[in-house]
Amino acid sequence: MNNARIAIDPDFRIGEADRRLFGSFVEHLGRCVYGGVFEPGHPAADPLGLRGDVLALTRELGVSVVRYPGGNFVSGYRWEDGVGPAAQRPRRLDLAWKTVESNAFGLDEFMTWARAAGAEPMLAVNLGTRGVQEACDLLEYANHPGGTELSDRRRRGGAEQPYGIRLWCLGNEMDGPWQIGHKTAEEYGRLAAETARAMKMIDPGVSLVACGSSGRGMPTFGAWEATVLEHAYEHVDYVSAHAYYDPSDGDRASLLASAVDMDAFIRDVVATADHVAARHRHTRRMKISFDEWNVWYMSRPADPERPDWQEAPPLLEDDYTATDAVVVGDLLVTLLRHADRVGVACQAQLANVIAPIRTRTGGPAWRQSIFHPFALTAANARGTVLRIEPAGPSHDTQRYGPVPSLSAVAVHDEEHGAVTLFAVNRAETPLSVEVDLRGLPPMRAAEHVAIAAGDAVNTADAPDAVTPRRLAVPAMDGGRCTLDLAGPSWNMVRLTRG
Given the residues 173, 194, 230, 428, select the one marked as catalytic: 173
Q: Specify whether the CB–CB gap between 313 and 306 falls below 8 A.
A: yes
Residue 256 has pLDDT above 90, yes or no: yes
Give tens-digit pLDDT for 16-46: 999 999 999 999 999 999 999 999 999 999 9
How is residue 109 annotated by DSSP? H
How far is the C-alpha of 449 from the C-alpha of 373, rounded, in Å? Answer: 10
Q: Is 389 a catalytic residue?
A: no
Q: Is the pLDDT of residue 12 over 90?
A: yes
Burial of 271 (0-12, 13-18, 19+ CB in 10 A): exposed
pLDDT band at 300; cut points 50, 70, 90: confident
* DSSP symbols for 125-138: E--SS--HHHHHHH
**What pLDDT, on the 0 to 100 scale, is given for residue 305?**
78
Euclidean distance between CA atoms 47 and 44, whole angstroms: 10
Q: What's the CA dihedral at 367, 368, 374, 377 to 10 degrees?
A: 70
121 pLDDT above the threshold of 90: yes
Taking the C-alpha atoms of residue 400 and residue 258, their distance in angstroms, rounded to an integer, is: 8
Residue percentage of the chain with pLDDT more than 90: 97
Lowest average pLDDT, out of 65-79, 293-307, 445-459, goes to 293-307
Measured in degrees and rounded to the nearest 5, phi and psi for residue 470 equal -85, 130
* pLDDT confidence of residue 498: 76
> Residue 187: which residues within 8 A CB-CB, separation 6 or more?
none
Sign of the torsion formed by the C-alpha atoms of 293, 67, 72 and 205: negative
As a whole number of angstroms, the distance between CA 454 and CA 149 comes to 56
Mean pLDDT of 174-187: 98
Please, are residues 377 and 492 in contact by the beta-carbon 8 Å criterion? yes
pTM over 0.95: yes
Residue 435's DSSP bridge partners are 6, 481
H/E stretch holding 394: strand 394-397
- Superfamily of domain covering 2-9+386-497: Golgi alpha-mannosidase II (2.60.40.1180)
Kindly state the average pLDDT of the residues 295-307. Answer: 87
CA–CA separation, 314 and 354 (whole Å): 11
Asked whether the beta carbons of 456 and 465 are under 8 A apart, the reply is yes
The kind and range of the H/E element at 108 are helix 107-117
Sequence spans of domains, the chain: 2-9+386-497, 18-380
Mean pLDDT computed over 59-85: 98
Q: Choose the catalytic residue: 101, 134, 140, 292.
A: 292
- Contact assessment for residue 460 and residue 366, using Cβ atoms and an 8 Å cutoff: yes
- End-to-end CA distance of the chain: give it in Å, rounded: 29
Residue 229's Cβ-count burial label (10 Å; 0-12, 13-18, 19+) is: buried
CATH superfamily of this structure's domain 18-380? Glycosidases (3.20.20.80)
Q: Is 225 a catalytic residue?
A: no
